[in-house]
Amino acid sequence: MAVKLIDQFDPKKNEQAKTDSEAFGQLYDFYFPKVYPFVMAKVGDQMVAEDIVSDIFMKVLENLSKYQNRGLPFGAWLFTVARNVLFDHYAKSNKSASSSLDETIEIKDDKEESSPLHQAKGAELKEKVKAIMNKLPERELNVVQMKFFAGLTNREIAVALDLSEQNVGIILYRVLRRMKPDLNNLF
């Protein structure tokens, strides 16, 4: 029998995870693929990202009993924990947040082997996106990373970053609008 993953909007399953290790495992299985790319985009090192994600889920487990469903997505609370663990990491290591796209974005072709021209365009696109992302202010960078690396909804991002949902949408629209002309010149 296949295990059904927790739906991010199912408060009963999230409540079960407070006392049931199997339910917590399902919660982990659902949210790990969202949290890991977000953290990886921030730190750019696989080993460090794995350690931080481990710390995030330990904090979630430790504080899950304090979580109260107030009609907001559970994922937003989890990403608030993730941001706090990242802040702690940077405070300990005195590093600034960076966005390393080299390991987090892979541009793939449907074919097994890409042509040299396609590989060159892919490398150029990756470098252009990396340069654009490195110039973004921290708030915009967080919104973009949560949306495209972690796959969060605008509502989850809004709660995690203490913004309005409309503000998240506006930030995304403006960032993508600024990026579009630079990326269109590549093709």
pLDDT tens for 46-104 read 888 899 999 998 898 888 888 877 777 788 888 889 988 988 888 887 644 444 444 44
Residue type, 133: M
Q: Residue 80 and residue 100: Cα distance in Å, rounded?
A: 21
Q: Which of helix, strand or coil describes residue 35? A: helix
Q: Residue 128 and residue 137: Cα distance in Å, rounded?
A: 17
Tens-place pLDDT, residues 28-52: 888 898 899 889 888 888 888 899 9
Confidence of residue 179 (pLDDT cuts 50, 70, 90): confident
**2: number of Cβ within 10 Å:** 4
More confident residue, 18 or 97: 18
State pTM to two decimals: 0.60
- Both tokens of residue 81? 């924990």
pLDDT, the chain, mean? 76
pLDDT of residue 185: 66
More confident residue, 185 or 181: 181
- Whether pLDDT at 113 is above 70: no
- What the chain holds in terms of domains, given with CATH numbers, is 11-99+113-184 (1.10.1740.10)
- Both tokens of residue 23? 């339910």
